[in-house]
Amino acid sequence: MVCVSWLMTGCSGPGSNSETTASDSSAGHKATLRVLFAGSLIIPFAQLEKEFEAGHPTIDVNMEGHGSIQAVRIVGDLDESADLVITADYRLVPLLLYAANNPDTGLPYASWNVVFATNKMVLAYAPHSRFADEVDEQNWPDVIARPGVRVGCSDPRLDANGYRALMTVKLAERVYGRPTLFADIFGGIFRIPIRVSRNGDSDLISVPEVLETKSGSDLVLRPYSVSLLPLLKSGDIDYAFEYESVARQHGLNYLALPAEINLGDTAREEDYAAVTVKLDFQRFTSVKPEFAGEIIRYSATIPSNSSEPEAAAELLAFLLGPEGQRVMAENFQPMIVPVVADNLEAVPEAVKMYCAED
């Protein structure tokens, strides 16, 4: 769910658990981990929690799915304690956790970040979607631009999937030779428009502070990409920009998009860099974040205010190790192996063995 309560504290107390395990946690102490993670991982992480807890009876994992930006903000802005923060865009961690200090310790909320998974943008649809019987990898730009075809997109101000959808559509203009595609889909429907400016060879997409669709618009926004799925099922939208893993987990019909625009092919980084999304308003710490096009990179960190850093490192090692890789593969979530650390020195020992330096 989108709005899982963040009120549950990550506190832990002495438990009455008398079992001893091979875990680092001392016997009799039950560690409770609070994991804030990107909503697109909700299905694999439910399985991960179950399997991890089965092997680690002294550790209780509380999973909280959020939009990536929100997950990071719970620590960096609300000063809540968390034991593991997992985002769908690794850049959010330096932006919001390295840059902010925990007032209690004077230290940044995080000092390292490991990139461990990727994904691909796809166009999901349902069997009853308009033109479902004729849409294909070639003609989808025409189909979704047709009047009356309703397209779902998550809010680029709240969700990484949202600004990635903007990139994918902009990149598709060149690949499909349709220079007005972005304007056809996102133009003229917002009270305050999303502006595109040409900057040398790259395009800068500026998202305004207020993003409100005009009535009768064929574009439907939702805070997070997973909240588009019920609308797809109910027929209120015909097509939605989603991650491939999510589309497959939910058994949706979807179109794979070409490598040049799906943000999932390392060989295409240069193509992706031709577009940048700027959130054009003061936000959190008076920054106006810019996200240059690049491949999708999920990342993980243990915030400095974690009350159970050892247990958190165990869980992260489990995620990055063979068990976690199998769980992710079973749920169509592609991993990046080896994991890439930006500050290998600071990474906990249990996690280090899966990492390579940036």
Partner 1 sequence: MNRLRTLSRMDWAFSFAGLMLVLFIVLPLIATILASNPSEFASGVGDVGVLASLWLTFFAALLATLIALVVGLPLAYLLARRDFPGKNVIQGIIDLPIIIPHTAAGVALLMVFGRRGLLGGPFASLGLYFTENLAGIVVAMLFVSLPLLVDTARESFSRVDPRLEGVARTLGATHWTAFRKVTLPLAWRGIVSGSVLMWARGISEFGAVVILAYNPKTISVLIYERFAGFGLAAALPVTALLLVLALIILVLTRTVLLPRKRKHSRPDSRSRGSRGDPR
Question: Cβ of residue 70: shortest distance to partner 1, in angstroms?
Answer: 5
Task: Tell me how far CA of residue 207 lies from CA of 107, 160, 210, 217, in angstroms.
Answer: 32, 13, 8, 18
Helices 322-330 and 42-55, packing angle to 10 deg? 140
Of 25, 44, 37, the residue nearest 66 (C-alpha): 37
Q: Which residues 235-264 are close enough to bind partner 1 by CB under 8 A?
A: 235-236
Which of 81, 202, 213, 253 binds partner 1 (CB under 8 A)? It is: 213
Question: Cβ of residue 77: shortest distance to partner 1, in angstroms?
Answer: 5
b (16+ CB within 10 A) / e for 16-43: eeeeeeebebeeebbbbbbbbbbbbbbb
Which positions from 124 to 143 touch partner 1 by CB under 8 A, shown as an x/- string?
A: ----x---------------
The 10 Å Cβ neighbour count of residue 317 is 18
# residues near partner 1 by CB under 8 A: 31
SS3 351: helix
**Rounded Cα gap, residues 210 and 195, in angstroms:** 13
Our CB check for partner 1 shows the closer of 120 and 222 to be: 222
Q: Does 288 interact with partner 1 (rule: CB under 8 A)?
A: no
Our CB check for partner 1 shows the closer of 207 and 327 to be: 207
User: Given the rule CB under 8 A, which of 47-55, 213-221, 262-270, 332-340 is the region that contacts partner 1?
Assistant: 213-221
Q: Which residues 302-331 are close enough to bind partner 1 by CB under 8 A?
A: none
Our CB check for partner 1 shows the closer of 46 and 273 to be: 46
**Rounded Cα gap, residues 26 and 207, in angstroms:** 50
Q: What are phi and psi of 210, to 5 degrees?
A: -100, 120
User: Given the rule CB under 8 A, which of 110-118, 179-187, 216-224, 261-269 is the region that contacts partner 1?
Assistant: 216-224
Q: Which residues 6-65 are close enough to bind partner 1 by CB under 8 A?
A: none
H or E element, residue 43: helix 42-55
**Rounded Cα gap, residues 114 and 28, in angstroms:** 31
Which of 175, 183, 231, 274 binds partner 1 (CB under 8 A)? It is: 231
Question: Cβ of residue 127: shortest distance to partner 1, in angstroms?
Answer: 11
Our CB check for partner 1 shows the closer of 13 and 147 to be: 147
Which of 77, 142, 260, 265 binds partner 1 (CB under 8 A)? It is: 77
**Rounded Cα gap, residues 195 and 174, in angstroms:** 18
Q: Which residues 173-212 are close enough to bind partner 1 by CB under 8 A?
A: 209-210, 212
Helices 42-55 and 309-320, packing angle to 10 deg? 110
Q: Does 337 interact with partner 1 (rule: CB under 8 A)?
A: no
Which of 70, 102, 161, 301 binds partner 1 (CB under 8 A)? It is: 70
**Rounded Cα gap, residues 249 and 6, in angstroms:** 26
Q: Does 215 interact with partner 1 (rule: CB under 8 A)?
A: yes
Q: Does 222 interact with partner 1 (rule: CB under 8 A)?
A: yes
**Rounded Cα gap, residues 239 and 22, in angstroms:** 48
* Contact footprint for partner 1 (CB under 8 A): 1, 3, 67, 69-70, 73, 77-78, 128, 155, 157-158, 209-210, 212-213, 215, 217, 220-223, 227, 230-231, 234-236, 281, 283-284
